[in-house]
Amino acid sequence: MFTMSLSEWVGRFNWIIGTSLVIGAVVDIAVCAGLCLALLKERRASFTRTTRLVDRIILLTIQTGVITSILTVVVTIRALLEPANFVWVAVYMCLTRGRES
């Protein structure tokens, strides 16, 4: 591994990068959908005051989930179409920074 240049490494292991990014996008979408479905189920069982709170949480979940999913798909497309151009790494670093908080 240490004898290869970065472009050779990316050329050889591009499928690993693409696979992990696609799996990450699918997981982001699944988590967002699952959380929204659970909140909708809770909304039906709640009273009027908590309904508004649950609606706000659903809206926030959709907003953050959609943003994360779109960015993950953009990073995946950029990584697969132009693996030697590492602009996608900068976007991915911003994306992973947002996941930590």
pLDDT of residue 97: 52
Measured CA to CA, the distance from residue 22 to residue 38 in angstroms comes to: 24
Residue 79 per-residue DSSP state: H
Residue 2 pLDDT > 80: no
Report pLDDT digits (tens) over 15-52. Answer: 888 888 888 888 888 888 888 888 888 777 766 667 88
Q: What is the value of pTM for the model shown?
A: 0.68
Give the pair of three-digit tokens for residue 26: 């699918």
Are the C-beta atoms of residues 62 and 34 closer than 8 Å to each other?
no
Report pLDDT digits (tens) over 78-90. Answer: 888 887 787 888 8
pLDDT band at 96 (very low <50, low <70, confident <90, very high): low
pLDDT band at 58 (very low <50, low <70, confident <90, very high): confident
pLDDT band at 76 (very low <50, low <70, confident <90, very high): confident
